[in-house]
């Protein structure tokens, strides 16, 4: 077998190990990529040198995961994770290995790895392939197969079934039958896995260009019911009207489309979760309601306020998987504001109200979510040009520089207090009333006019409180 071509940087690093009489191999995703003929973004190395020894060999090393035998080398601006040969140790809690035991050989190290495609190694610096489980053939046939008996490997670590689905999405590979067949039975083990580890896999599924593939497998194996019951409950929730799909397929397709367009993680998550409230609020439409007058699009059902319920469920999902607050907040805003139906007869005031509700910073992503939502409704490509009229109006309104927030008003709280308003909540109430007035009629935004209106409002409150 001919040796694989090795990047010069890897050869330089390998020389340091060889000079110290140690073995070093390229392992993991980088080998997979090499066999696929792709460039790899990150390199993982495996060695018989102990972590302390590796630390002694290089000038820039960080003890990133010393408990697991991993250190990180910095070399000419590149980071490489170097892990000492390990054996599979028990995962008695299904979460993390109980303790790390070092192995003597690369063969032993490879046997603890999850899938055959991840269990090949390339010896450095000569590029000799070590492939005891037929990873190269499986890669050629585009198959994800467990190393050894799938039931056992999944029972050791409940994250592996989800990794299998994630790789299916990322690589467009199929699951080997035995591997696929073992997923359902492993769900109780997956249930014990730390939520952060699950989140990282979900993120990789959503970041892939083909999340739909993993979503379908998740549903078939009932991984979806375990991890995202809110979504599983959307299966069979028909929508009627112009909707071609039930709520679950709609959500899957919206997210998949957003992924294919390269939209942000928040838009993808919002696309997946934006309609989860629908099963909770679906009502059969009254016969006297005119078709087409509701967000359900003229079907037999209404889904009033589903965006609020979806927001609550999205919050539960995002909290459960410990998403960072900033990500959660943005996803929730997108979900809550996703229901807008622009029509040309919107007044400038309506456009300003829309900008205020959404927040100027959110508008680009909100329009992307809208496009994904539309694409997921019919399964057809949605046309970004459809939103240009709204975007033009928003730009025009913003360009006029008219007031869209309290700080744009020509008066402030101090002015009101000088007018005799008692400091406290009334100041806020009156300022908001003034903003409403200015949104309706921007010409009112002068000090003189606003003070006059404020005077009228205070008189009104005084009378009302008598």
Q: Which residues bind ligand ATP (CB under 6 A)?
A: 28-29, 44, 113-114, 118-119, 157, 159-160
159 binds, among ligand ATP, Mg ion, none (CB under 5 to 8 A by kind): ligand ATP
Q: Is the peptide bond before 125 cis (omega within 30 degrees of 0)?
A: yes
Least gap, CB of 118 to ligand ATP (angstroms): 3
48 binds, among Mg ion, ligand ATP, none (CB under 5 to 8 A by kind): none
Q: Do residues 409 and 450 touch, judged by C-beta distance below 8 A?
A: yes
Distance CA 426, CA 387 (A): 39
**Total residues contacting Mg ion (rule CB under 5 A)?**
1
Distance CA 252, CA 218 (A): 11
Report the DSSP beta bridge partners of residue 46.
Answer: 25, 83
Query: 186 or 411, CB closer to ligand ATP?
Result: 186
Query: 34 or 317, CB closer to ligand ATP?
Result: 34
Given strand 129-130, what is the order of strands in its sheet?
61-65, 70-75, 78-84, 44-47, 24-27, 121-123, 129-130
Query: 29 or 51, CB closer to Mg ion?
Result: 29
Residues in contact with 433: Cβ distance below 8 Å, sequence separation at least 6, in sequence order: 453, 457
Least gap, CB of 417 to ligand ATP (angstroms): 59
Of 97, 100, 134, 101, nearest in space to 117 by CA: 134
Query: 41 or 443, CB closer to Mg ion?
Result: 41
Count of CB atoms situated within 10 Å of the CB of 30: 22
Comparing every residue's Cβ against Mg ion, the nearest one is 29
161 binds, among Mg ion, ligand ATP, none (CB under 5 to 8 A by kind): none
Distance CA 105, CA 108 (A): 5
Q: Is 97 in the site for Mg ion (CB under 5 A)?
A: no
Query: 88 or 249, CB closer to ligand ATP?
Result: 88
CA 4: distance to chain centroid? 35
Helix, strand or coil, per DSSP, at residue 134: coil
118 binds, among ligand ATP, Mg ion, none (CB under 5 to 8 A by kind): ligand ATP
Query: 14 or 34, CB closer to ligand ATP?
Result: 34
275 binds, among Mg ion, ligand ATP, none (CB under 5 to 8 A by kind): none
Distance CA 453, CA 440 (A): 14
Q: Where are the beta strands (DSSP E) in 76-167?
A: 78-84, 121-123, 129-130, 143-144
Query: 67 or 460, CB closer to ligand ATP?
Result: 67
Query: 157 or 256, CB closer to ligand ATP?
Result: 157
Least gap, CB of 43 to Mg ion (angstroms): 9
219 binds, among ligand ATP, Mg ion, none (CB under 5 to 8 A by kind): none
Q: Is 158 in the site for Mg ion (CB under 5 A)?
A: no
Q: Answer left, alpha or beta for residue 58, where phi above 0 means left and psi between -120 and 50 means alpha.
A: beta
Residues 2-41 that bind Mg ion (CB under 5 A): 29
157 binds, among Mg ion, ligand ATP, none (CB under 5 to 8 A by kind): ligand ATP
Comparing every residue's Cβ against ligand ATP, the nearest one is 29
Q: Do residues 3 and 126 touch, judged by C-beta distance below 8 A?
A: yes
The sign of the torsion formed by the CA atoms of 394, 329, 245, 198 equals positive
The binding site for Mg ion (CB under 5 A) comprises 29
């Amino acid at each position: 077998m001919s040796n694989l071509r090795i990047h010069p940087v890897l050869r330089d690093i390998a020389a340091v190990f060889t000079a110290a009489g140690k073995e070093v191999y390229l392992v993991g995703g980088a080998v997979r990529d090499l066999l696929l003929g792709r460039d790899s973004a990150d390199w993982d190395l495996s060695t018989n040198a102990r972590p302390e020894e590796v630390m002694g060999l290089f000038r820039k090393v960080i003890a990133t995961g010393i408990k697991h035998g991993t250190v990180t080398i910095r070399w000419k601006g590149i980071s490489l994770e170097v892990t000492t040969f390990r054996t599979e140790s028990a995962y008695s809690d299904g979460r993390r290995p109980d303790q790390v035991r070092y192995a003597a050989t690369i063969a032993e190290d490879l046997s603890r790895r999850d899938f055959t495609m991840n269990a090949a190694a390339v010896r450095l610096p000569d590029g000799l392939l070590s492939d005891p489980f037929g990873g190269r053939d499986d890669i050629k046939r585009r198959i994800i197969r467990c190393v050894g008996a799938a039931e056992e490997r999944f029972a050791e670590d409940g994250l592996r079934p989800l990794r299998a689905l994630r790789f299916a999405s990322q690589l467009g590979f199929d699951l080997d039958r035995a591997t696929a067949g073992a997923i359902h039975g492993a769900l109780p083990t997956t249930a014990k896995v730390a939520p952060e580890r699950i989140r990282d896999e979900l993120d990789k599924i959503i970041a892939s260009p083909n999340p739909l593939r993993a979503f379908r497998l998740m549903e078939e194996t009932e991984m979806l019911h375990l991890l995202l019951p809110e979504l599983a409950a959307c299966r069979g929730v028909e929508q009627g009207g112009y909707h071609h799909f039930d709520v679950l397929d709609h959500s899957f397709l919206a997210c998949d489309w957003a992924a294919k367009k390269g939209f942000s993680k928040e838009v993808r998550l919002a696309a997946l979760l934006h309609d989860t409230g629908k099963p909770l609020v679906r009502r059969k439409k009254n016969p006297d309601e005119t078709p087409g007058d509701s967000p359900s699009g003229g079907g037999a059902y209404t889904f009033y306020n589903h965006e609020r319920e979806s927001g609550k469920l999205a919050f539960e999902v995002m909290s459960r998987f410990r998403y960072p607050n900033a990500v959660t907040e943005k996803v929730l805003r997108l979900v809550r504001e996703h229901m807008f139906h622009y029509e040309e007869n919107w007044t400038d005031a309506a456009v300003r109200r829309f900008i205020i509700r959404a927040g100027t910073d959110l508008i680009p992503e909100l329009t992307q979510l809208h496009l994904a939502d539309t694409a997921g409704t019919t399964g057809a490509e949605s046309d970004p040009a459809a939103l240009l009229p709204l975007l033009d109006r928003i730009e025009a309104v913003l360009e006029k520089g008219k007031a869209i927030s309290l700080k744009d008003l020509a008066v402030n709280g101090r002015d009101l207090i000088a007018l005799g308003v008692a400091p406290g909540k009334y100041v806020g109430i009156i300022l908001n009333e003034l903003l409403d007035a200015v949104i309706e009629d921007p010409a009112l935004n002068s000090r003189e006019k606003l003070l006059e209106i404020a005077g009228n409002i205070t008189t009104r409150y005084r009378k009302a409180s008598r």
